[in-house]
Structure 1
């Protein structure tokens, strides 16, 4: 599985400032609707329901919200970069500015986990995150994410 299979280039957005997690989920849902036709209400409700189980802020300014949606046929993603980091109840208590959300079919098991692992690995790469923070063109952001982490073999 590759990021290009999950993330349509049109599913990337740069936002100046976000007032709340609820507002962010609205933007993620809008992007999912515009790009993949996912019902806006379903996307927002599923993200909020998952977040109520525990925050998806994984640290180092990154959040990986994810949700299962009835009617989807494959796992898809949206990416938002915030110019101004926001509080996200992340595990390290640091504000978040890089958000990669995944939407998976309600009955997906392994595919959802594979996608989440891939995105997590990608977003843990400090070089990738630095490049994402340094660029403001959505096509460039897609290229950075699509390239994935660089192998650091010994």
Structure 2
């Protein structure tokens, strides 16, 4: 599994600012709908339900919201770079500017976990995050995200 199978270029966006975590989730749902045909309202509800279990802000300005959704057949990703960092209740209490959301089929078991682990490893790399923060072009951001695992294999 690599990120190019999870993340379409059309699902990578840069937004100026968002007023709340809920608005962020609505944005993620809208992108999931336009990019993958995932219904936005159930996607947003699933993200909010998952977030109610505990915040998915993992620190260092990164959030990895994720949810299981009925009606999809494979794990899908949406990436947002937020130009004005957003309060997110992250583990380190820092605002978030890099958000990689995952939507998985309800019965995705191990595939969901593998995808989450891959995204987590990618977003923990300080070089990846620096490149993401240094670029505004969604095509470049997609390339940074999808090339990382290939450059790490040795």
TM-score (norm 1): 0.97
Corresponding residue for residue 74 of structure 2: 74
Corresponding residue for residue 128 of structure 1: 128
* Deviation larger for 107-116 or 144-153: 144-153
Q: Please, which runs of 5 or more residues in structure 2 have no aligned partner?
A: none
Q: Quote the offset at 1:152 in angstroms.
A: 9.3
Q: Equivalences for 1:4-153 in 2 at 5 Å?
A: 4-149=4-149, 150-151=151-152
Inter-partner Cα distance in structure 2 for 1:117 and 1:86: 24
Counting matched residue pairs gives 153
Inter-partner Cα distance in structure 1 for 2:24 and 2:90: 15
> How large is the RMSD of aligned CA atoms in angstroms?
1.2
Inter-partner Cα distance in structure 2 for 1:152 and 1:117: 16
Q: Please, which runs of 5 or more residues in structure 1 have no aligned partner?
A: none
Q: Secondary structure at the match of 2:94?
A: coil
Q: Quote the offset at 1:125 in angstroms.
A: 0.3
1:59-112 Cα distance to aligned partner (Å, 9 max, x none): 000000000000110000000000010110000001000000000000110000
Inter-partner Cα distance in structure 2 for 1:14 and 1:122: 18
Q: Quote the offset at 1:148 in angstroms.
A: 1.4
1:117-139 Cα distance to aligned partner (Å, 9 max, x none): 00000000000000000001000
